[in-house]
Amino acid sequence: MKFLKSIATIGLLLVCVISAQSQSITLEGTIKDSIGNPLEFANIIAKIKTTSEVETYAITNQNGKYRIDLPKQETYTLVASFLGFDPSEKSITVLETSQDSQLDFTLYPLADQLDDVTIVYEMPVTVKGDTIVYNADSFTNGNERKLGDVMKKLPGVEINDDGEVTLEEIEKKITSRTKVISITHLSNVTGAILPIKEITELAHSKGIIVVVDGCQGAPHLRLDMQDLDCDFYAISCHKMYGPTGLGILYGKKKWLEELPPYQGGGGMINEVKKDRISYGDLPNKFEAGTMATAQAVSYTHLTLPTNREV
Ligand SMILES: Cc1ncc(COP(=O)(O)O)c(C=O)c1O
């Protein structure tokens, strides 16, 4: 009798597992470059089309193969990407009756990205798409000028004879490929204060994001984020009577909601299943792992000068 009961339990479990599995399909495929080489470590992200929420993601193996599970009754946008290649997007609708299937991607290199940077064989630099990877270990005697050589050719704005960065200079440097303007609020070298509000107005009129280094701006200037209207603003607490290792990143909610987490760890997850993941509400999504608690607590206990509004 006990034996029969066990069989019945196993049977029930199998039914549950089978019915749970049938709620999703397995999608497999290969991500290759334009000449057919498989791309290892390429990313594939499946977003729910209506909400843009990330359903699941995977990384390709050495044969360029990926495998993801997609719950049924949903339409997904699949984005395959790899450093230095143009991402490829495909759409798939998974119906109740859909079966496991196969979807392959071919990615094409972004040949024109940063093409004004010349990389010679000896340089410890790889330029892939918008990303420059510099191997810092290549400095061995301190005399190398390789990074300097690269920097000379990188896009960036010049200061004028008064040590200022003008709006006109920034406007001159904007091209149709400019996606982000990353700029300081108050220079720690010349003391110049940059016209962030005007820079942001100009950038936004061209669909460009503005990221401001406010490490000197925050301690020295009165900030009104609504007025500045920049998209991100970074503050270093040790420049504001605070402890080291602590900072503040202000970001517009729409970007913080749209951006995926840049690292994983404790406290940033809402739910993890074998085939899906959802992240915690803001700001938890970006606060993986144990935070600098001691610094944060000590900062809140510091006595700030009474004549300063924070
Ligand atoms: C404008 C600016 N940005 C960034 C930094 C670096 O900040 P941290 O010391 O927190 O790395 C400094 C430090 O002097 C700074 O003045």
Span(s) in the chain for CATH 3.40.640.10: 162-303
User: Cα of 236 to ligand 1 centre, how many Å?
Assistant: 7
- Class in CATH terms, 24-109: mainly beta
Flag the least confident range among 171-175, 193-197, 213-217: 171-175
Taking the C-alpha atoms of residue 309 and residue 222, their distance in angstroms, rounded to an integer, is 9
- Residue 196's pLDDT is what? 97
149-158 average pLDDT score: 68
Q: How far apart are CA 34 and CA 38, in angstroms?
A: 10
Which pLDDT score is estimated for 20? 46
Residues ≥6 apart with Cβ < 8 Å to 285 = 256, 261, 268, 279
pLDDT single digits (tens) 50-99 = 998 888 888 899 999 999 999 999 999 999 998 778 899 999 999 999 99
Q: Is the pTM of this model over 0.85?
A: no
Evaluate if residue 147 carries a pLDDT over 90: no
Which residue of 184, 187, 216 sits with most ligand 1 atoms within 8 Å of its CB, as the best mutation to test the pocket? Answer: 216
Q: Is 234 in the pocket of ligand 1 (CB under 6 A)?
A: no
155 preceded by a cis bond (ω within 30 of 0): no
**Ligand 1 in reach of 88 Cβ (< 6 A):** no
Atom of ligand 1 nearest to the CA of 214: 1
What is the mean pLDDT of the segment spanning 170-198?
Answer: 91
pLDDT at 175: 86
Provide the pLDDT for residue 9. Answer: 44
Question: Ligand 1: does its nearest atom lie under 6 Å from the Cβ of 34?
Answer: no
pLDDT of 301 over the 90 cut: no
* Ligand 1 site-directed mutation target among 194, 236, 241, 295, most atoms within 8 Å of CB: 236
Q: Which residue has the higher pLDDT, 137 or 183?
A: 183
- Determine the average pLDDT of the residues in 119-123: 46
Ligand 1 proximity of 68 Cβ (cutoff 6 Å): no
Confidence of residue 143 (pLDDT cuts 50, 70, 90): low
Among 1.10.3720.10, 3.40.640.10, 3.40.220.10, 3.90.1150.10, what is the CATH number of 162-303? 3.40.640.10
pLDDT surpassing 90 at residue 48 = yes
Give the ligand 1 atom nearest the CA of 236: 10
**DSSP string over 86-119:** E-EEEEEEE-TT---EE--EEEEE-TTTTTT---
Which of 11-15, 139-143, 234-238, 262-266 shows the lowest per-residue confidence on average (mean pLDDT)?
11-15
> What are residue 44's phi and psi, to 5 degrees?
-130, 130
Rounded distance from Cα 136 to ligand 1 centre (Å)? 20
Q: Identify the pLDDT of residue 119.
A: 46
- Nearest alpha carbon to residue 229 among 258, 261, 196, 207: 196
Give start-end residues of each CATH 2.60.40.1120 domain in the chain.
24-109
Closest ligand 1 atom number to CA of residue 237: 10
Q: Is 236 in the pocket of ligand 1 (CB under 6 A)?
A: yes
Tell the residue number behind the tokens 């080291």, with chain if given. 244
**Each residue of 240-274: pLDDT tens digit?**
889 999 999 999 999 999 998 988 888 999 988 88
For the Cβ of 166 lying below 6 angstroms from any atom of ligand 1, the answer is no
